[in-house]
Structure 1
Amino acid sequence: MKTQSGMSRAELLSLPVSVDVVVAGRAIGVGRTLAYDLAKRGEFPVRVLRLGNRYRVARADLLRHLGEDPAEAA
């Protein structure tokens, strides 16, 4: 069963500790271009970490934003 996001609950809970902005965008229901645009403008709804030229999102922050308990994913 799909959640409000673009991923099922099982998919969300099986994500690695950090994901790229495309996967995080898919989880919150936005496409690749919009996800990068929001990250570059500092408007992505979840904290984005910039590592060199890469954007990463912590799974725990993403799960909290989506109303899931990060402890369940551990």
Structure 2
Amino acid sequence: MTPLSPRELDDLPCVVGIETAARALGISRTLAYKLAKEDRFPCRVIRIASTYRVPRADLERCLGVVHHDPPGDP
């Protein structure tokens, strides 16, 4: 599985599937599902019926991504 580039990470929607989160974290799909089922995924996972979703903000925090706001007008 090819990891996400920084650009791809910036383009993600507010909530992503577990497979996309796995790509961002550099882990396999199988391991991602295993960790989610065991409540050991490295960031918050939301279970909706039989699917898992990961908030982008939590994923970015887990990855140590820091966003800097552009300087505003004084």
TM-score by length of 1: 0.83
Structure richer in helix, relative to its length: 1
Taking only the aligned residue pairs, the percentage that are identical comes to: 49
Query: Structure 1 residue runs of 4+, over 4 Å off?
Result: none
Counterpart selection for 1:51 from 48, 65, 70: 48
Q: Secondary structure at the match of 1:62?
A: helix
CA RMSD of aligned residues (A): 1.5
Length, aligned pairs only: 67
Query: Which has the larger Rg?
Result: 2
Query: What TM-score, normalized by structure 2, do the two folds share?
Result: 0.83
**Residues 33 and 71 (structure 1 numbering): CA distance in 2 closer, same or farther, change over 3 Å?**
farther
In structure 1, runs of 5+ residues without a counterpart are 1-5
Instruction: In structure 2, list runs of 5 or more residues that go unmatched.
Output: 70-74
